[in-house]
Structure 1
């Protein structure tokens, strides 16, 4: 079986890149939603949430870049159009959200989507003996599980 430039079976690399492109689409919509929450947040918790949302969108932007670079490392091309992101994302585009509680609930929903997708990529990467993708997904999952706990605690859940 043919292997790519980093020693992963080409068919496995293509399949992983397809899954990573799906993940990338979800991250892009998640990112834009959080930018909107940051810009439009109002109310009693404004200062706390405004800062927290900025921290989150900075983290999402870094992950977007890492996912795209991983796709390139696998020898494939990352999707890079918003029309494709909207079409392929399981995370819904959110508009004009200004209530902090609603924004945090939408963030938790989005984390649920990306965590599920990352676990799928993690399993596929393990089967493909792709330690680079595996490590990336493992790091994201452990960081985001803690974020879910913290956002749920903010909501009093």
Structure 2
């Protein structure tokens, strides 16, 4: 686990992968309830069989929400408090089907000094087991304060 002052040395480095996790229908349904997005491609396994995906898929923004624990696992900083500062880019190149395993990877794009700490730009990806393209790619900005 790096310290705040070691962060600049991570620029250009790949981090991860995290451990595999399974995308469950229960997780998708809970997210649908919280966000009020009950599109059948997410919550109706029978109807989703006839969709272009052949089964239910996770919401894209569920993947975004999972970036928090993924980033905390990949880039915890020993002596600093980290906060999400935003995103520069977000894409969903492929679906994240229910029942599949996924994991996170990251690449530290740049580290810049800010007042009281460091800003880190990280490209985070959510990979799906056996799938060529990632389910999510995001250029995320995190700030770490002493």
TM-score, scaled relative to structure 2:
0.31
Normalized per residue, which structure has more strand? Answer: 2
Normalized per residue, which structure has more helix? Answer: 1
TM-score, scaled relative to structure 1:
0.30
